[in-house]
Amino acid sequence: MQEGAERAIRLASIVAIDMAGFSSLSERDQRRAARHVEALRARIEATAAAHEGRVFNTAGDGFMLEFSSAGSALGAIQDVLDKRPKGEPDIRVGAHVGDVVVTATNDLLGHGVNVAARLQALAAPNSALVSSEFRSMARNSPSAVFMARGRQPLNNIDQKVQTFAILSNDARRKRLMTRVGWGAGVAAAAAALAFLSPMAIDFLSKQDFLRPQAVAAPESGAKTDAGAVQTEEKAAADAGAAPGAPAPGDVFKDCDACPEMVLLPSGQFQMGAPAGERGATDVERPLRTIRIAPIAVSKYEITYEQYDACASAGGCNGFYPPERGGGRGRRPVVGVAWRDAQAYITWLNAVTEGPAYRLLSEAEWEYAARGGTATAYAFGDAITRQQAVFQSRLTDPVGSYPANAFGLFDMHGNAAEWVEDCYNSNYTGLPTHGGPVTSGQCNLRLYRGGAYSDGPNVLRSANRRRASMTIRDGTIGFRVAREMN
C-alpha cells in the first residue's frame, strides 16, 4: 500500500488476552514470567489457528487476536479459558465486534481494537468480558453461557458499553451447584409446608394479601394515552378484527430475530405543518386530511444487532454497515441506503414467510410520529434533550428516551428514517389514502424524523427530506411496518 493511500476498513471480531498479575510475577522472577508468556503465546497461537483466526499483535503479556466471525472467536475464547494447563497464571479476556483499519503492514487498528483491550482490562481473572455487539453475533452457540454485567465505563471511550461475561466450564459448574442448592432448599421448604396444620393453612387462605385482587373494568369512554376508547370491542373494531385479535397498543414479534411491533389504531390526521409552525417550509404543505388503516410499526428503529443478524444469515447482500462510534448492538443502524433497507425487509419477509413487512409510507410515518397530537413534536411544540437525542456526536441505544403516546420510541432524533415514498416537492395533488406515493422523482426517496446530529427544527413530525436511494448516509436508518390485513 502506498504512503497516504486510503486504508481498508472491515468488520472484525477482536479478542484481547493478557496475564492477570504479570507485573507482580515479573518483579519476583523475570525468567519464570518470561517462560509463562512464551508458553501462553504458543497456546494462544495454536488456539487461534484452530479456530481460523490469527494473533496480529503482542506486547509483553498482551495478545490481540482477529477472527472473521464472532462464532469462531467464541470457540477460541472457550478453549483458552477451559483448557488452561496446570500452573498457568490467571488470564483475562475481552472481546468486541467492530470496525478496524487494515494498515500497510497488515496490522489492525481502530475503535474495535480499543474496546476489546479495555474490556479485557476490566475482566475478572480467568473470565471473559465481551460487548453486547459480540454477544448478539455469538449467542447462538449452544455451549455459550452469557451473564449480563451492566453498562461499563471504559477508559478513554466516551460512551458506556453494555457488557456480558462468558462463563467458563468451572463457572458454569459452580452456578449449576448453586442452583441445585437452591432447588434443594425449595424442595425442603415445600416438604415442610406440607406438614402445616389444616388450621394454619385455613388461616393463611383467609388473609387479604393472599386473595386475588379484582381489576376494575374501565369506565365507558375511558381513553388511553393515544385517545382511543379502552374497550375490547372498540379495540377490535379499530384493528378491523374480531375480539381476541391483536388490539391497538399490543406488542408482538413474529420470530426471535424479528423486531418488536406495536399495533397502531386506525384514524385520520392533518398531515403537514401549519404556516405558523417554527421551521416549517412549503414542502410540508398544503395541509390535507389522511386516513390511516390499522398497521403495526416497529417499536424501535432497526438496530445494528437486527441488521447484522440479516447479514450473518446471508441476507442484506452480506453488507455490514460500519458503526459510527459507540458500538453496534442496540444502537440504531445508520449508513444504510434505501436499497439496503429494502434488502433487510426482503430477508425479514423470507424469515416470516411474508410478504407482510415494508417501509412505512410517508403519511404512516407522520401519523405514527405524532401519536395523536397536532403539535410540532409528539411531546408538544418544543423538544428537550430529556425527550430525544439531537445536536450530538453519537446515537444512543434505542429506547433511551420516552415513547410517544403510541408506544413508539425515537420517532424524533437518534437516526433519521427512510420511508417508502418517491419524492414530490409538496403535497399538491397527492393521494390521501395513506399508502406509499409511487409517482414523482423515484430515484429520490424521503427520510423523516431528524438525526442525532440535527437541530430541533429538523426533528419536527412534519419535517421531510430527500436523498438518493443509493446513498449510505451516516445519519440515516429506518424502521419497518407490517401489514395487518
Which of 69-83, 406-420, 455-469 shows the lowest mean pLDDT across its residues? 69-83
Give the SS3 label for residue 335.
coil
pLDDT of 119 higher than 80: yes
- In CATH, which of 3.30.1330.10, 3.40.50.620, 3.30.70.1230, 3.40.50.2020 is domain 8-171? 3.30.70.1230
pLDDT of residue 417: 98
Question: Mean pLDDT over residues 420-446, rounded?
Answer: 95
Asked if residues 447 and 466 have their Cβ atoms less than 8 Å apart, the reply is yes
The structural domains of the chain, with segments of one domain joined by +, span 8-171, 232-483
Residues 56, 57, 58: CA angle, nearest 5 degrees: 140
Question: Mean pLDDT over residues 50-69, rounded?
Answer: 86
| 11: enclosing H helix or E strand | strand 8-19
pLDDT of 468 higher than 90: yes
Instruction: Tell me the per-residue pLDDT of 288-345, one tens digit each, with 9 for 90 and over.
Output: 999 999 999 999 999 999 999 999 999 998 999 998 888 899 999 999 999 999 999 9
Q: Are strands 108-109 and 62-67 parallel, antiparallel or unpaired?
A: unpaired
Q: Which three cell numbers stand for residue 354?
A: 411474508
Give the SS3 label for residue 111.
helix
Question: Mean pLDDT over residues 179-195, rounded?
Answer: 46
pLDDT of residue 201: 40
- Percentage of the chain with pLDDT > 90? 52
Question: Mean pLDDT over residues 255-262, rounded?
Answer: 93
> Does 8-171 match 232-483 in CATH topology?
no
Distance CA 362, CA 375 (A): 18
pLDDT of 23 higher than 50: yes
Q: Which three cell numbers stand for residue 73?
A: 472467536
| 309: enclosing H helix or E strand | helix 304-312
Distance CA 248, CA 104 (A): 56
pTM above 0.75, yes or no: no
pLDDT of 240 higher than 80: no
Distance CA 145, CA 164 (A): 10
CA max distance for the chain: 89
Confirm or reject CATH 3.90.1580.10 for domain 232-483, answering yes or no: yes
Q: Which three cell numbers stand for residue 153?
A: 465505563
pLDDT of 90 higher than 90: no
Question: Mean pLDDT over residues 383-395, rounded?
Answer: 95
Instruction: Tell me the per-residue pLDDT of 435-461, one tens digit each, with 9 for 90 and over.
Output: 999 999 999 999 999 999 999 999 999
Length of the chain: 485
pLDDT of residue 108: 81
pLDDT of 210 higher than 60: no
Residues 171, 175, 180: CA angle, nearest 5 degrees: 145
Average pLDDT, the chain: 82
Q: Is it true that the peptide bond before 274 is cis, omega within 30 degrees of 0?
A: no
pLDDT of 168 higher than 70: no
CB proximity list for 89: less than 8 A, separation 6 or greater: 19, 20, 21, 22, 25, 36, 40
Question: Mean pLDDT over residues 237-241, rounded?
Answer: 44
pLDDT of residue 4: 44
